[in-house]
A = this chain, B = another copy of it.
Amino acid sequence: MTRQELFENIKKKQSFLCVGLDTDIKKIPAHLLTEEDPIFAFNKAIIDATAPYCIAYKPNLAFYESMGVKGWISFEKTITYLNENYPDQFIIADAKRGDIGNTSAMYARTFFEEMQLDALTVAPYMGEDSVTPFLSYEGKWVILLALTSNKGSHNFQLSEDNRHERLFEKVLRVSQQWGNADNMMYVVGATQGRMFEDIRKIAPDHFLLVPGIGAQGGSLEDVCHYGMNRTCGLIVNSSRAIIYADSTEHFASVAAEKAREVQQQMAEQLKKII
């Protein structure tokens, strides 16, 4: 999917919501446990209910890998289901991979050739040759960790170097020698507030994938105020606050309602640029 297509979807849906499929067998409604594949059954119901209100889905690999082979089967079924039924949804594998060149190339093969995903989150610590193998696929995206939403983001990401550049700023700057706003996005946590201003100075045009709304406490309004650009430039993720909003047989319709609430707030914000 190109940047322009993504923006068209955002305008059409009046939404830049990504629903995070952090599907945990211990948290899904009990009545699903009798299904042959409870994880996929849950995902399918959530997707069918929320698709009108979002433009992206982000399964977090950890939740699937924690179930071993079974989890991978559920993951692959979910991706196939999305591709076949919702081809306009942008599908992100939240995997935070990153390894030496030949290994990153293997990961790229997995996620972009075998699985037909649109984007993959990648950790920047190992530098250029750990990232570039993902950038050679047309229409596919690397989403590089820049400034994450968690408490530990302070440990290293905010370290200032001897030129007063913080590590996340260096990641933003240096990685633009490898890719551009048409094949690279950055992860910036919603909990980072005004930091979005600093980020936009270095990466004015890039899309940012923003986790941390909802359960982690970030503010949609702040994110939009400081982070939105002319083509929106934001994909805001919510996982737990939507998919686990209800644990009864009505879980899917309650999830839809929660997604719709966020979509309506997003429509308000989009008025500023459209």
Residues of A within 8 A of B (CB): 22, 24, 60, 62-63, 65-69, 72-73, 76, 94, 96-101, 103-104, 106-107, 109-110, 114-115, 123-131, 145, 148-157, 159-162, 164, 167, 170-171, 174, 216
Contact = CB atoms under 8 A, between A and B. Distances in A.
The 6 closest A-B pairs by CB, nearest first: A127-B152, A127-B155, A128-B152, A62-B106, A100-B150, A66-B110
B124 A125 contact: yes
A152 B123 contact: no
A15 to B, nearest CB: 24
Contacts of A69: 69, 72-73, 76
Contacts of A106: 24, 62-63, 65-66
Contact of A62 (B60, B99, B152, B161): B99
User: How many copies are assembled?
Assistant: 2
A98 to B, nearest CB: 6
Nearest to A160: B162
A87 B156 CA distance: 37
14 contacts: A60-B99, A62-B104, A63-B103, A65-B106, A67-B110, A67-B114, A68-B114, A69-B69, A96-B97, A100-B148, A100-B216, A126-B153, A127-B157, A162-B164
A94 B68 CA distance: 16
Nearest to A109: B66
Given A106-B62, A107-B62, A159-B167, A129 B152 contact: yes
A110 B75 CA distance: 15
A188 to B, nearest CB: 13
A66 B107 contact: yes
Contact of A167 (B66, B148, B154, B156): B156
B167 A114 contact: no
**Residue among A101, A154, A156, A170 with the highest chain B CB neighbour number at 10 A:** A156
A5 B99 CA distance: 29
